[in-house]
Every structure is written in C-alpha cells, then in structure tokens.
Amino acid sequence: MQSGKLSIDPAFVVAPVNRRVFGSFVEHMGRCVYGGIFEPGHATSDDDGLRGDVLELVRELGVTAVRYPGGNFVSGYRWEDGVGPVADRPTRLDPAWRTIETNAFGLNEFMAWARKAEVEPIMATNLGTRGLPEAMELLEYANHPQGTALSDLRIEHGAKEPHGIRLWCLGNEMDGPWQLGHMTAAEYGRVAAETARGMRQLDPDLELVACGSSGRAMATFGEWEATVLEHTYELVDYISAHAYYELEGDDVAGFLASSVDMDRFIRDVVATADHVGAKLASTKKIDISFDEWNVWYQRDLAGAVGQQDWTVAPRLSEDAYTVLDAVVVGSLLITLLQHSDRVTIACQAQLVNTIAPIRSEPDGPAWRQSIFHPFALMARHARGQVLDLRVDAPTLTTAKHGEVAVLDAVATHDAETGQLAVFVVNRNPTEAVSFATDLRGFGAASLTEAVVLADDDLFAANTMQEPDRVVPRPHTSAAVDGTTLRAELPPASWSMFRLQLS
C-alpha cells in the first residue's frame, strides 16, 4: 500500500478561515428560484412562498453568503421589474437562458429569504445592457434609509428597513462573448471604474468585485485581469474568478486532480494582481472572489433550452452528482482554504436544482446531493486558522495535469476551542493510501470524529427515491497512536478528522 503523511504545526499559518469562502449562488436559471427556494403553495412554504424544507437544508449546508441574481441572467435584467406589487410586475424574455421571467421573485423577496436563511447577500449589478445610473439607483433603493424617491419607494413596497447590502459585483463574466454587452478588457475596465466611483460616492464603505476571467482557458486570461485592474485597482476590493470541472471521458485520475487547475488559476490571478499593484506603486492587495465554482456537466445548454424554448423555469443543468463528484468538490474546497490569505470570498454555483448540492421537486421533497456533504462538514468544522501544512506523498500521472500528489489536504486550528480539523482527499482512483500526521506540536490529542466519503461504486448518486445512498461513513481505520493520527484512505475518497487538543 502507498503511504503519505502531513506535516503540520500550530505556529505555521496561512490566514484565518474566512466564513465567506462557504458562499453559494442563486441565479434566475432553470429551477433555482422558481421551484427551488421559492414555491408558493408547497406544503412547507411560508407566507412569503419560501420553501421551508429547502431553507432547512440551506442552513444545514452552512452557507454564509449568497450571490444574486446572476450570473448570465443579470446582464439583461432590469431590477425594477422585480419590485412592487407582484400583479403589476412585467413578464419578460430572459435572453441568457431563453426562458420566460415572471418577476414574481425579486430583490425584496430575495432579501426576505436571505434573512431567513441567515446568509449575507452579494448583489450583482447589470453592466451588460445597463450601467452606472441603474447601479446607483439600485444601491439607493436597497440601502438608503428614507427620504428620497427610491428609498421611499422601497418602503412603499413593504421593506421599511434598508437592506444594508455591503458586497456588490460589478457585472458578470464580461470577458465572455456569450455575455450580453460583452466588452474588451479596456472597455469593461472603464465602465467598472466609472460605476465603482459612482457607487462609492453614495457609500464609500462598499466592498466591490470587478469581473475577472470566466475561466482559466479563456484566450484573454491574464491580460484581462491586468487591464481591468489597471483601471480599477484603487476602486475595487476583489477580482472574480470562475471555474467549472467535469469528468472527461474515462480520465478519472485527471478529474480527481481538478484542484491542481484551480490552484494554478488562483496563483496566476494573485501574481497578475500583485504585478499591477507594483506598477501602480500601491500598498493595497486585491483579493479573489471565486464566486462561481463547481462540477458541471450539462453545459451544452443550447439544445436543452431549445427543447423548452421560452418557458418558465425549465429544468436546466440538473446534474445528478456522484461519489466521484463529491470527492472533487471536497478537493476544490481544500484548495480554496489553502489560499485563505487571498481567496476571501467563494460561491459554489448554484444552490438548488441547477448544478446544485440541494435538489427539490414541485409539490414534493427536497434532498441532499452527494456534493452537499463535504461542503456542509467543512463549513461546520473548518474554524480558526488555516495551517500552512506540507504533504509528503507519492505521485500519480494524469493526462490532463501531469504528475500530481495522491494526497490533497488542509487543516484548520481553533486555539480558543482546542479543535483541530484535518481534511484529506486520496486522488488515487484505484489504490488505498496509508495516511499519518504527526501531532506532537499540539500536545495531547484525542480523536473526536472521523468520517469518509467513498464507495465501491464511484458513480453512485442520491435520488428522490434513495436520498441517502451517498453519505459520509465512520472512518473505522482512524486512530491516534501516541502523537500520530493514522488512517487508511480508500481510493477516490474525501475524509475528515476532528481532534480535541489538550
């Protein structure tokens, strides 16, 4: 059996765990909103039409922040359509997903949901077909207390208190030719800077996210970030990054190593941002908002949308996630935490039904997909400081990423509670790995919980009929021997070990 070990010490840290890294994304795409978080008449829905069973699962998932309303959707969206009496709201065509948008759910409904879900809102503005005036009007409507036309209109619409939204995205994927209002980097940089200045004149304490590349494979990657930040560096706080992964053919090993690509993506964006900062002689550091990431298979939406052309909330990208997908999601979360010094926001896309950890059926149940579990456990137990660990493990060769270590890991240490959490992925698709971690730097330690997500059938998935087919199981091989944590990691597995330190 192959063997690997981690070297960790409480004195060596990366950064505090930022709770915003456990964010998610709600877009008016498919059934994420309609039939997902919002279904008036459902047996569990409240007076606002919000599904109680979905809300319960969102809280269990541990989501901390949610980006809204898009996504591609936002680049053709008129926010005014989604406020005021529902009977008076216009029905529109949504060109992003070629669907009908009823506007029965809008800003105020989302904010009511966010309060009940106990999440921080992240609001995206439309810089595709609109721009500075609309962004400033939306900000005034949402956040100004009272006494102006737009703030008083919000109060008239039933939202007496200002929403107090602090975090705003300046458009979405404006580097993508598929995006309404697609711009060059210089064009977008100018518009983003202009919008940021205007919004900061209303509220200088906002946090603003500029659009980075919508994928590391984009032909403009790197050049896009550099040009955009040359325009916006002193006006924004974050640059966004988006990445989706999938199993390609039978390359299971390459898929399990997807986080290698995410790691390179983050390092490249950080290097580019710091280069621009150096050119501008700025002491400021730009952080990354990795505000779209996940495993996503059903990306060829033209055919799927064409089959249900101009309908309300069709079933789009409702991927059924497997054991293999869950292990990859766990590995991607490990990478995000490893970069906690610069990745301070992340949003798994999306939350319900559409490429989501939660599924629901109309007038039916809601259930956890396989990818729900690593997210929920890491959101719950990754606390305190992210440790700067070292992995000593064999490598395997992948067609897509070359030589990669078979182990991917991160550890967090909460000195106040004495909790140490270690998260490990075995990327080897066919062989178990003997795993050890020396704990002598922490003093005496006892193992309080050890779970593993693995299965002989890597393609097993949860369904409405069998919602608990894929769940974490007790890690029966895990034990603390003196000052060493040991376990046998099954092939293609994600594991969590929680320890109490004396």
Active site residues: 173, 292
| Overall size of the chain counted in residues | 502
Q: For residue 498, give the DSSP letter.
A: E
Q: For residue 458, give the DSSP letter.
A: T
Q: In what order do the strands lie in the sheet with 385-387?
A: 13-16, 385-387, 407-414, 419-426, 493-501, 445-453, 473-474
CA distance 54 to 36: 7
Helix, strand, coil in percent for the chain, rounding step 5: 30, 30, 40
Name the residue among 413, 434, 415 with its Cα closest to residue 424. Answer: 434
CA distance 167 to 179: 22
Cα Rg for the chain, rounded, in angstroms? Answer: 23
CA distance 419 to 451: 16
CA distance 492 to 427: 5
Is the omega angle on the peptide bond into residue 71 within 30 degrees of 0, that is, cis? yes
Name the residue among 200, 213, 264 with its Cα closest to residue 404. Answer: 264
Token representation of residue 311: 């309908």
| HEC readout, 21-45 | HHEEECCCCCCCCECCCECCCCCCE
Token representation of residue 446: 């006892």
CA distance 489 to 128: 47
Token representation of residue 467: 């919602």
CA distance 247 to 232: 36
CA distance 165 to 28: 19
Please, what's the b/e burial string for 370-387 (b: 16 or more CB within 10 A of its CB; e: otherwise)?
Answer: bbbbbbbbbbebbbbbbb
